[in-house]
Chain A
Amino acid sequence: MELDFTSSADYLWAFLPEIVLSVSAMVVLLVGVFTEDRDPPAAGDPSPLGWVALVGILLAGLANGWLHGVETTGASSMVAMDGFRLFSNWLFLAGAGLTILLSFPYLSRQRLQIGEFYSLLMLATVGMMVMGGTRNLLLLFLAIETMSIAAYVLTAMNRRDRKSAEAGLKYFLLGAFSSAFLLYGIALVWGGTGSANLPEIAAAIQAGAAFSPLLIAGMALLAIGFAFKVAAVPFHMWTPDVYEGAPTPTTAFMAAAVKAASFVAFVRVFMEAFPALYESWYPVIWWLAALTMVIPNLIALSQSNVKRMLAYSSVAHGGYLLVALAAANETAMAGLLFYLLVYTVMNIGALAVVMIVSGHSEERMQVEDYGGFGWSQPLLATIFTIFLLSLAGFPGTGGFMAKIYLLQGAVESSLWTLAITLAVVTVISYYYYLRVAWYMWMRPAPVEGAHTRVWAPLPMRMGLVGSAAVIIYLGIFPSGLMEGARVAVGGFGRAVGGVLLGLGP
């Protein structure tokens, strides 16, 4: 099929995955309010709504697969139809699907509102997919708000828990604050270049038609807004509290998919609209990357709460990803996509095990509580160990290969200091990841029989085993996915006219 964007109907086709997912979200919401509220399932029974939501995700995936074969002609002012968008759509759908699969027992056990939870999760995913697929700053802002507002509610979803409410309020206030930065940045960029369209902004800058003080100020504000969203270091203060207080499936979703979406939008805006200003924004990203790698890794060393430790680890992973943005070459961009996919799988998997260990009401979160888990639940503990090793970047896991690609990208742009910092902080991070594994396998349980009964029904086990298999597979045979990521970024690079490739200091 060929889309030419002269009629509105072609825009509908171009947004087919998003539309399918929105409709599924509404179906889930209505089914939920007509069935679950009438007779709620007994606490602990997995709700059939999860399967409905998974079918919706699957249908959106089919639509996204269909988009791979679609040709476009003519100017598509707002919609990007490139590999970068399709790859990031797969990423978000995988993140949402995994979160749904792994949250089956949690939601009914905590008596959360299941229909609302799943439909908000899917609507947040719609926002993310639009974030990855738009070339217009205003549509981007709307997409970010769609994602963020759903994420605020998901954070505060556990109404009986004070911490969840506090996390939701904090996230809402700081998220609104950062949205204001973003919006002001968009306004100034529009004032400076006369367009909110990324290729047109790039063209205006190339032609020298841009009014530069306004443009630079707008770019700085955009960078601040995105740095808030990806939790880069001077703007990361909200992250640990929000990730710790939110219900664990929400934490998994936020730390993986929401962060990935923010990175995808960050990269698209800066690579597609401001490639000619690389010299001005690269030092800022350089410092953000350096700080975001070092500081959270040092703080995570002293965390005894595993969920909070994983929150700091998530901030640190944001730092590794910023190295790719600072390098801004093709290898680094493909490495960023590869890293985001691996990170989504391993982080959601690790938090799912945290969900299992924490028991009824999120009370067992300390690292001591993991004592004896290994020998009473060998399968789950082995999987958790794989995720921890991958998060740390151990050879043989997907996390290792992802870091190698990022390092390669940094070296190609001669960012030696950042590359060395990345390697050093990775070694430091081994300590806090492996400490959990050490407690799990080498220490006795704090209470006798603490882990003999765990709540992990079949869908959850299937999801965990599948994720671990993906991580191991990508650790041994990474080249297939990496080639896919390169092709995806190639489509993205063509859109900016090859100005970017190999552009380094």
Chain B
Amino acid sequence: MSASYIPILMLFGVSIVNAVGMAVASHVLNPRRATSEKDMPYESGMIPLGDTRARFSVKFYMVAISFIIFDLEAIFLIPWAVEMRYLGWEGFIAMSIFVMVLVVGFVYEWQKGGLDWE
């Protein structure tokens, strides 16, 4: 059983040696000529204007989380809809429970003001 994995092990070994070897070789062989341009954050790019850690309003996160919830709902609903006749009443009831639970969360979010932009 284990014998059939030996090619994979060899592939691992070759790729590790290859990757490490290239990194070490370029470090050892390349010439180093530091210029002021090379020391900048982006060589031949734009000079950074400010801090990269910009602050976003928390509203965007609310939208993102709501999106994920309804996205998941769609991911569950579409396969069920495709196979609805095969799954029968059992599937229908299970799906209804799932949607009901989601509706509870939705009512909560609505009441809490999670859907108001301002």
Q: Residues on A close to B: CB < 8 A?
A: 8, 26, 29-30, 33-34, 37, 211
Please give the distance in Å from A209's CB to the nearest CB on chain B. 12
B112 and A30 contacting across the interface, CB-CB below 8 Å: no
Contact of B111 among A8, A26, A37, A211 (CB under 8 A): A37
Please give the distance in Å from A208's CB to the nearest CB on chain B. 14
Provide the B24-63 mask, 1 if CB < 8 A to any CB of A, else 0.
0000000000000000000000000000000000000000
Please give the distance in Å from B69's CB to the nearest CB on chain A. 14
Smallest CB-CB separation from A29: which chain B residue?
B108
Jot down 17 A-B pairs with beta carbons below 8 A, ordered by A: A8-B90, A8-B94, A26-B101, A26-B104, A29-B104, A29-B108, A30-B104, A30-B107, A30-B108, A33-B107, A33-B108, A33-B111, A33-B112, A34-B111, A37-B111, A37-B112, A211-B1
Interface residues of B in 89-106 (CB under 8 A from A): 90, 94, 101, 104
Provide the B64-86 mask, 1 if CB < 8 A to any CB of A, else 0.
00000000000000000000000
Interface band, chain B: under 10
Question: 4 closest Cβ contacts across the A-B interface?
Answer: A33-B111, A26-B104, A33-B108, A29-B108
Q: Residues on B close to A: CB < 8 A?
A: 1, 90, 94, 101, 104, 107-108, 111-112
Q: Which residues does chain A contribute within 8 Å of B90, judged by CB atoms?
A: 8
Q: How far is B108's CA from A30's CA once the two chains are assembled, in angstroms?
A: 6
Q: How far is B109's CA from A30's CA once the two chains are assembled, in angstroms?
A: 10
Q: Which residues does chain B contribute within 8 Å of A33, judged by CB atoms?
A: 107-108, 111-112
Q: How far is B106's CA from A33's CA once the two chains are assembled, in angstroms?
A: 12
Residue among B90, B101, B112 with the most chain A CB within 10 A?
B112
Q: Which residues does chain B contribute within 8 Å of A30, judged by CB atoms?
A: 104, 107-108
Residue among A8, A33, A34 with the most chain B CB within 10 A?
A33
Q: How far is B2's CA from A211's CA once the two chains are assembled, in angstroms?
A: 10
Q: How far is B1's CA from A503's CA once the two chains are assembled, in angstroms?
A: 34
Please give the distance in Å from A159's CB to the nearest CB on chain B. 12
Q: How far is B112's CA from A37's CA once the two chains are assembled, in angstroms?
A: 8
Residue among B1, B94, B101, B104 with the most chain A CB within 10 A?
B104
Q: Which residues does chain B contribute within 8 Å of A37, judged by CB atoms?
A: 111-112
Please give the distance in Å from A191's CB to the nearest CB on chain B. 12
Please give the distance in Å from B22's CB to the nearest CB on chain A. 30
Q: A8-B94, A26-B101 are in contact. List 7 more A-B contacts (CB 8 A).
A: A26-B104, A29-B104, A30-B107, A33-B107, A33-B111, A34-B111, A37-B112
Smallest CB-CB separation from A8: which chain B residue?
B90
Please give the distance in Å from A419's CB to the nearest CB on chain B. 43
Q: How far is B107's CA from A34's CA once the two chains are assembled, in angstroms?
A: 10
Q: How far is B112's CA from A34's CA once the two chains are assembled, in angstroms?
A: 9
Please give the distance in Å from B106's CB to the nearest CB on chain A. 11
Q: Which residues does chain B contribute within 8 Å of A211, judged by CB atoms?
A: 1
Please give the distance in Å from B116's CB to the nearest CB on chain A. 13
Please give the distance in Å from A176's CB to the nearest CB on chain B. 17
Please give the distance in Å from B36's CB to the nearest CB on chain A. 40
Smallest CB-CB separation from B112: which chain A residue?
A33
